[in-house]
């Protein structure tokens, strides 16, 4: 009963979205439309559509929680023995379920825009919501026609097939929802851009309104990607955290475009410049989100992440892509001419720096896109199959992005329109010295000098130092000009937007430092250990105690126990990697044991029991293959990303948005 009601809710949402979205977009072009009422109506409709989709999503989750195996999706992706949190997560473990999640996010963002946009000029508001509602219509339509999660399985299965064991992990539970929040969030800035073009003008309104939405989406995407990387590290069993896999790249592309977008929006907002470029970026970012959706679900590329390939689905998504993006690019070509050049700036200005940032981001984006799609292009053109793997991406990506990190160090010192270059350069002196010192010390202490280490670490230190120094400089300046004695007052005066930038930039420094150090200094040992044996790596010593067989909720585990000691210290930590065999499907996964620390991780994973051709092969003497890693500073990678996201969220709380809401609505001037 419930699945059928859910489908009904979706069908209602479909019609409502089409009717209200279409009606609004049509009416707003007619003479003397009742703008305020239309806008309110569409806002209400957005919330209603969201409620309907939420209800149907709730129904799917309920089916999983109740283990209703008469629903095909539940039977294919869940199991009686599955722990509750994973039953819930299994709702989005399949293509259909995750697409419903995608659609839910889209309607959620739309409802949020509806609720927060009451101060937005109504004509513009109608167009923004109209675009978002039409998008929802397209997605719900796609869902209902080709990817319905509520199909029945009759007679019902007795027990389900089980969720892929690799997905039965707390990180995997949160990774898709947050990732989708990011992907879908860029639909909002897309809608703002399209609405502005539809209206035929690009005044700073749309940039100012777009900024918090773009920043929020970007922050969520950052967290989503970070969780995916961290999950791979903890569960895949061999210490890698980024593989340049096509689906990973698919999430990186909108992230790179999104980074360019949030900076470009800053320029357009503050200086009314780069307008048509920013509009294009907003469209491209969402286009890349959609492209990512296509790549993951169509089976066009091989990837460990890809859902079961279905070319029919692929055609539909491609059609969706063509309609949405094709339309927006046509609109761009047709309408951008009216926009005008905007504010002028010198080549030594903040605008200029941000523009160069954009160029670098777009080049990096092009590199990733090229590498991901090149094999497909070659196959289409010549029929040959070739491979593009991590070495390409590593070789091309870092040189493109490191200059951006260096430029970021100067960025806070830069000024709008025109700035004295000498002053900014002088400000770099101490940071550079600091960077050389730290890099030199690192090489002296730990060796392994390399171009990567020098450039990467120096960039990170310079960035961190320069950013923090600039913040201190600003606070001091305020004090000098009669500002409050209290640090907190002066800090508040600088605004959350400023502090968000500082935190995010420091986050990038932390991230770059982590990546550079881990890549340079990580070490690994492949071992065969018998119980009682001790091996060492660096200053760590690992003693193998043994492997026990231990039952889990839906698996049987080989539970390994090791003792880990550091240096000559006597503190012993127990490290317990596992090898789990899942009851339902027989799949075996490795659960690595990680001793995490601020300065790095010790990472131990169990391999296989080694065939004993020795005299005695009692279980207590069974030797195992073991892999042991030292990963210095690896957690800085994820902490850096977390800081970036926090910085992004911080900008949402800037005073200017509160002040805007306090002002009364101003009637829209004649065009």
Partner 1 sequence: MMRWVRLGLPLLIFALLVIVLARGLEFDPRHLPSARQGKPAPSFEVPTLASDQLFSAKSMLGKVWVINVFASWCTACVIEHPKLLQLARRPDFNLIGLAYKDDPSATAQWLKDHGNPYRQVALDIGGQVGIDYGVYGVPETYVINAQGVIAYRHVGPIDDAFFDQHVAPLLNAHP
Partner 2 sequence: MSTEGNIRQRENPPLAEGSADETATTERVRSLTEQLRCLVCQNQTIADSNAGLAIDLRQQVVQQVKAGKTDSEIKQYMVERYGDFVLYNPPFSTNNSVLWIGPFILLVLGLLLVWRSVLRRPQGSSPPVPTSADQRLRLQALEARYQESSQSLQTPGGRPSDRHKKLTEE
Query: Residue 47 or residue 388: which is nearer to partner 2 going by CB?
Result: 388
- 360-389 residues in contact with partner 2 (CB under 8 A) are 360, 362-364, 366-367, 370-371, 374, 378, 384-389
Interface with partner 1, residue 326, by CB under 8 A: yes
Q: With contact defined as beta carbons under 8 Å apart, do 52 and 147 qualify?
A: no
* DSSP of 119-182: TS-HHHHHHHHHHHHHHHHHHHHHHHHH--TT-B-SSPPSS-----GGG-SHHHHHHHHHHHHH
Other Cβ atoms within 10 Å of 475 Cβ, number: 16
Interface with partner 1, residue 300, by CB under 8 A: yes
Tell me how many residues contact partner 1 (CB under 8 A). Answer: 34
- 458-477 residues in contact with partner 2 (CB under 8 A) are 474, 477
- In the DSSP assignment, the letter for residue 600 is E
Interface with partner 1, residue 373, by CB under 8 A: yes
Minimum CB separation of residue 527 from partner 2 in Å reads 6
Query: Residue 68 or residue 162: which is nearer to partner 2 going by CB?
Result: 162
Interface with partner 1, residue 608, by CB under 8 A: no
Nearest to 186 by CA among 265, 116, 106, 118: 106
CA distance 433 to 440: 10
- 611-650 residues in contact with partner 2 (CB under 8 A) are 625-627
Q: Where are the alpha helices (DSSP H) in 240-274?
A: 246-271
Picked from partner 2, partner 1, none, the partner binding residue 337 (CB below 5 to 8 A depending on kind) is partner 1
Stretch that binds partner 2, among 21-29, 222-230, 344-352, 567-575 (CB under 8 A): 344-352
Q: With contact defined as beta carbons under 8 Å apart, do 10 and 56 qualify?
A: yes
Residue 658 sits at the vertex; the CA angle it makes with 207 and 641, to the nearest 5 degrees, is: 65
Residue with tokens 């967290």: 223
Q: Beta strand pairing status for 523-529 and 600-609?
A: unpaired
CA distance 345 to 273: 9
Work out which of 352, 556, 565, 622 binds partner 2, going by CB under 8 A.
352
- 53-82 residues in contact with partner 2 (CB under 8 A) are 76-77
- 467-526 residues in contact with partner 2 (CB under 8 A) are 474, 477-478, 480-483, 493-495, 497-498, 501, 525-526
CA 487 to chain centre: 34
Interface with partner 2, residue 312, by CB under 8 A: no
Interface with partner 1, residue 356, by CB under 8 A: no
Scored b (16 or more CB within 10 A) or e, 544-562 reads bbbbeeeebebbebbbbbb
Length of the chain: 671
Picked from partner 1, partner 2, none, the partner binding residue 315 (CB below 5 to 8 A depending on kind) is partner 1
Binding mask 521-560 for partner 2 (x = CB under 8 A): ----xxxx--------------------------------
Minimum CB separation of residue 143 from partner 1 in Å reads 20
636 CB-contact burial (10 Å; exposed 0-12 / middle 13-18 / buried 19+): buried
Interface with partner 1, residue 273, by CB under 8 A: no
Q: Beta strand pairing status for 624-632 and 523-529?
A: antiparallel
CA distance 189 to 279: 9
Work out which of 154, 158, 333, 666 binds partner 1, going by CB under 8 A.
333
Minimum CB separation of residue 293 from partner 1 in Å reads 12
Work out which of 12, 47, 610, 646 binds partner 2, going by CB under 8 A.
610
Q: Give the 3-state secondary structure of residue 670.
A: coil
Interface with partner 1, residue 585, by CB under 8 A: no
Other Cβ atoms within 10 Å of 613 Cβ, number: 6
Minimum CB separation of residue 525 from partner 2 in Å reads 7
Stretch that binds partner 2, among 55-63, 137-145, 411-419, 633-641 (CB under 8 A): 411-419
In degrees and rounded to multiples of 5, residue 572 shows phi and psi of -105, 130
Stretch that binds partner 2, among 62-70, 181-189, 342-350, 551-559 (CB under 8 A): 342-350
Work out which of 77, 103, 298, 605 binds partner 1, going by CB under 8 A.
298
Distance linking the first and last C-alpha atoms of the chain: 52
Minimum CB separation of residue 301 from partner 1 in Å reads 6
Interface with partner 1, residue 359, by CB under 8 A: no
Q: With contact defined as beta carbons under 8 Å apart, do 114 and 47 qualify?
A: yes
Stretch that binds partner 1, among 14-22, 118-126, 308-316, 620-628 (CB under 8 A): 308-316
Q: Beta strand pairing status for 600-609 and 593-597?
A: antiparallel
Picked from partner 1, partner 2, none, the partner binding residue 218 (CB below 5 to 8 A depending on kind) is none
- Give the number of C-alpha atoms closer than 13 A to the C-alpha of residue 666, restricted to the C-beta side: 7
Picked from partner 1, partner 2, none, the partner binding residue 115 (CB below 5 to 8 A depending on kind) is none
Residue with tokens 């969706």: 320
Which tokens go with 580? 């789990």
Which tokens go with 226? 């970070």
Q: In sequence order, which residues have a C-beta less than 8 Å from that of residue 471 and are 6 or more positions away?
A: 412, 494, 499, 502
Work out which of 322, 341, 441, 612 binds partner 2, going by CB under 8 A.
341
Picked from partner 2, partner 1, none, the partner binding residue 666 (CB below 5 to 8 A depending on kind) is partner 2
Q: Give the 3-state secondary structure of residue 575.
A: strand
Interface with partner 1, residue 421, by CB under 8 A: no
Minimum CB separation of residue 599 from partner 2 in Å reads 25
Stretch that binds partner 1, among 90-98, 136-144, 168-176, 321-329 (CB under 8 A): 321-329
Tell me how many residues contact partner 2 (CB under 8 A). Answer: 105
Interface with partner 2, residue 302, by CB under 8 A: yes
- Give the number of C-alpha atoms closer than 13 A to the C-alpha of residue 216, restricted to the C-beta side: 17
Query: Residue 201 or residue 525: which is nearer to partner 1 going by CB?
Result: 201
Minimum CB separation of residue 205 from partner 2 in Å reads 5
Q: With contact defined as beta carbons under 8 Å apart, do 469 and 431 qualify?
A: yes
Work out which of 30, 385, 570, 659 binds partner 1, going by CB under 8 A.
385
Residues that bind partner 1 (CB under 8 A): 280, 283-284, 287, 291, 294, 298-302, 309, 311, 314-315, 318, 321-322, 325-326, 329-330, 332-333, 336-337, 373, 376-377, 379-380, 383-385
């Amino acid at each position: 009963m419930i699945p059928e009601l859910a489908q009904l809710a979706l069908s209602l949402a479909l019609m409502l979205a089409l009717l209200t979205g279409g009606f609004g977009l049509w009416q707003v072009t007619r003479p003397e439309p009742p703008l305020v009422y239309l806008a309110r109506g569409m806002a209400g409709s957005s919330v209603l559509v969201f409620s309907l989709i939420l209800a149907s999503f709730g129904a799917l989750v309920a089916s999983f929680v109740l283990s209703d195996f008469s629903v095909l999706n539940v039977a294919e992706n869940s199991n009686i023995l599955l722990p509750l949190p994973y039953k819930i997560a299994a709702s989005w473990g399949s293509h259909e379920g995750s697409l419903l999640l995608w659609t839910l996010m889209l309607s959620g963002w739309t409802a949020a825009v509806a609720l927060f946009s009451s101060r937005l000029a109504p004509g513009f508001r109608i167009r923004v919501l109209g675009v978002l509602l039409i998008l929802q219509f397209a997605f719900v339509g796609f869902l209902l026609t080709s990817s319905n999660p509520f199909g029945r399985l009759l007679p019902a299965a007795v027990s389900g097939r089980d969720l892929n064991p690799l997905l039965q992990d707390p990180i995997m539970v949160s990774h898709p929802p947050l990732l989708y929040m990011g992907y879908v969030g860029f639909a909002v800035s897309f809608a703002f851009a399209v609405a502005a073009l539809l209206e035929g003008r690009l005044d700073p309104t749309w940039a100012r309104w777009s900024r918090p939405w773009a920043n929020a989406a970007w922050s969520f995407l950052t967290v989503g990607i970070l969780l995916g990387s961290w999950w791979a590290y903890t569960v895949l069993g061999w210490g890698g955290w980024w593989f340049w896999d096509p689906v990973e790249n698919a999430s990186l592309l909108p992230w790179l475009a999104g980074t360019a977008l949030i900076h470009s929006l800053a320029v357009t907002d503050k200086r009314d410049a780069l307008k048509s470029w920013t509009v294009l970026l907003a469209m491209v970012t969402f286009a890349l989100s959609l492209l990512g959706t296509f790549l993951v679900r169509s089976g066009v590329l091989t990837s460990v992440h890809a859902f079961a390939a279905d070319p029919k689905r692929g055609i539909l998504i491609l059609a969706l892509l063509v309609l949405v993006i094709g339309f927006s690019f046509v609109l761009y070509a047709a309408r951008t001419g009216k926009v005008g050049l905007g504010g002028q700036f010198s080549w030594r200005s903040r605008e200029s720096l941000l523009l160069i940032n954009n160029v670098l981001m777009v080049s990096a984006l092009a590199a990733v896109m090229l590498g991901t799609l090149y094999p497909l292009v070659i196959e289409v053109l010549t029929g040959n199959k070739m491979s593009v793997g991590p070495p390409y991406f590593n070789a091309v990506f870092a040189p493109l992005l490191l200059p951006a990190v260096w430029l970021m160090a100067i960025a806070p010192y830069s000024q709008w329109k025109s700035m004295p270059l000498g002053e900014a350069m002088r400000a770099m002196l101490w940071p550079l010295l600091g960077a050389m010192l730290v890099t030199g010390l690192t090489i002296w202490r730990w060796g392994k000098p390399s171009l990567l280490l020098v450039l990467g670490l120096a960039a990170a230190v310079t960035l961190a130092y320069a950013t923090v120094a600039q913040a201190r400089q600003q606070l001091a300046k305020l004090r000098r000009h009669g500002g409050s004695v209290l640090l907190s007052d002066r800090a508040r005066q600088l605004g959350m937007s400023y502090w968000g930038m500082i935190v995010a930039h420091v986050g990038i420094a932390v991230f770059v430092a982590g990546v550079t150090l881990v890549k340079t200094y990580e070490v690994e040992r492949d071992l065969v250990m018998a119980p009682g044996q001790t091996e060492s790596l660096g200053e760590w010593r690992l003693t193998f105690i043994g492997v026990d067989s231990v039952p889990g909720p839906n698996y049987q585990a080989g539970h390994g126990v090791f003792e880990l000691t550091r240096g000559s210290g006597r503190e012993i930590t127990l490290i317990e990697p596992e090898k789990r065999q899942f009851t339902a499907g027989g799949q075996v996964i490795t659960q690595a044991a990680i001793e995490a620390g601020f300065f790095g991780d010790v990472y131990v994973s169990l391999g296989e029991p080694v065939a004993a051709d020795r005299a005695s092969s009692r279980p207590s003497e069974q030797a195992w293959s073991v892999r042991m890693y030292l990963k210095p500073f690896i957690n800085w990678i994820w902490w850096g990303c977390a800081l970036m996201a926090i910085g992004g969220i911080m900008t949402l709380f800037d005073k200017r948005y509160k002040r805007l809401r306090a002002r009364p609505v101003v009637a829209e001037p004649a065009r």
